[in-house]
């Protein structure tokens, strides 16, 4: 069975860094583009960052550009999201997802259960 398991979330103060990890199993990891999504209370789910199969191409939503970095280690079947200079508006449940299609268009075939990131002011 395919599993995506996020970790690294927590409660931090504004300006702090946090690193999220997503460990994948049950799939050929290198065959999937990966993405990080988030959903805040009362808001729609949004794409945060995506990365291509070989890690050569990345995408970031404007609100996190310059602060967040997505990366992957195909040997470890893991995708990461390094978050720096966190802001209260970054507070959300963060999910990782995998697509056998396009990192920009999806569809996102598999999803993790999420990890909560809360940034206090």
Closest CA to 13 of 101, 69, 96, 88: 88
Cβ-count burial of 25 within 10 angstroms (0-12 exposed, 13-18 middle, 19+ buried)? exposed
pLDDT at 10 over 90: yes
What value does the mean pLDDT of the chain take? 97
Q: Are strands 10-13 and 115-120 parallel, antiparallel or unpaired?
A: parallel
pLDDT at 103 over 90: no
Type and span of the H or E element at 20: strand 18-25
Task: Check: CB of residue 53 under 8 Å from CB of residue 44.
Answer: no
């Amino acid at each position: 069975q395919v599993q995506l398991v996020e970790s690294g979330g927590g409660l931090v103060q504004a300006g702090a860094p946090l690193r999220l990890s997503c460990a994948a199993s049950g799939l050929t990891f290198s065959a999937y583009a990966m993405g990080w999504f988030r959903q805040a209370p009362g808001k729609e789910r949004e794409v945060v960052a995506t990365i291509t199969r070989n890690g050569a191409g990345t995408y970031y939503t404007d609100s996190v550009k310059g602060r967040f970095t997505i990366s992957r280690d195909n040997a470890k079947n893991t995708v990461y999201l390094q978050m720096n200079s966190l802001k209260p508006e970054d507070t959300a449940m963060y999910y990782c997802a995998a697509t056998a299609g396009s990192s920009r268009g999806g569809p996102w075939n598999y999803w993790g259960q999420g990890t909560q990131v809360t940034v206090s002011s």
